[in-house]
Structure 1
């Protein structure tokens, strides 16, 4: 029997990707599907807290099992900034402005180590389960590539000589922080902890 589960996102591409992986055991719905039009506040201090706030909101208000993710870039030389503020690092939600501010803040810094991190919170039968994905890399001094989004043009994953924005999506999706966390979630759900 197919179980319903909500992915707390409005991104139809992300929803379709996960739905494809979890079918036929799960029917994956997104926020639009359940008519949740609220911008769920992300007031936590960590990726785990923010992901949990989103999954809890859906679980409490719609009484459906739910998972949500929160992601960001942590740069060693900037005390792990932008971190949970990655999407609004410059004060506004604009990829190009945020990227330029990060590059400006990295000027003259020799330590370029950084990581992308995703935490997924799954609320199933009232229990919260967390799954983390991390990919280590370095911050380039100049953007390269036109694929991807956010900080992808300046993030070079360890073991590669190209940025995320220069990679084919299929390649990035195999190694990305989100892919790693999502794989842990999928493995957990496929074991069927109902």
Structure 2
């Protein structure tokens, strides 16, 4: 029998990622997005950490739908910006505008030497159902470049090169990105825990 899990997101690329990663471990699970369930008022992401924000979204999704709910919060932590934009990554320039956010980060780093452009993508995933909560996290260290490259991915992917790679996250295939990404790490850890409990 197929069971349903809600991903508390309208982001089609996140939905695709979750489906790709969960399918091998949990083939009987159907992943739904917010557009697949009755609409409800989404709670502001007011947490101080990635885990806090993921938990806020998971609790809201579970409360409104009764479905086991997965939520993630992720972002870019730049060493030279003291870990910012961090939880504010999606609205660093004031709105959910990927291009504006990316350009603002690059402008803020204009006077920072290339050797100090270390950064990491960080992700927290919270799964919530009637039996409780599972929290997993992932981190992809790397460095930033000044000239965006690639048209895959989203967010800051065009200026981020993971450690051990020469291509940006926006230049990697979906499978290659999933294999190393912060979200891939966190979702695989979640899938492993869920597969053991089923």
List per-residue Cα deviations over 1:8-29 (Å, max 9, x = no partner).
1123453355345155432322
Q: 1:90 to 1:100 in 2, by over 3 A?
A: same
2:72 to 69, 72, 77: 69
Match of 1:6 in 2: 6
In structure 2, what is the Cα distance between the partners aligned to 1:155 and 1:73? Answer: 9
Quick check: 2:17–2:178 contact (8 Å CA) kept in 1? no
Q: Which has the higher contact order (CA 8 A, sep 6+)?
A: 2
Residue segments in structure 2 that go unaligned for 5+ positions in a row: none
In structure 1, what is the Cα distance between the partners aligned to 2:152 and 2:12? Answer: 18
Q: Which moved more, 1:83-92 or 1:141-150?
A: 141-150
Q: 1:43 to 1:126 in 2, by over 3 A?
A: farther
Residue segments in structure 1 that go unaligned for 5+ positions in a row: none
TM-score by length of 2: 0.89
Residue-pair matches, total? 193
Q: 1:43 to 1:134 in 2, by over 3 A?
A: same
Following superposition, the deviation at residue 49 of structure 1 comes to 0.5
In structure 2, what is the Cα distance between the partners aligned to 1:34 and 1:45? Answer: 28
Following superposition, the deviation at residue 5 of structure 1 comes to 1.8
For the residue of structure 1 that corresponds to 2:139, the secondary structure is strand
Q: Which moved more, 1:25-34 or 1:181-190?
A: 25-34
Q: 1:165 to 1:4 in 2, by over 3 A?
A: closer
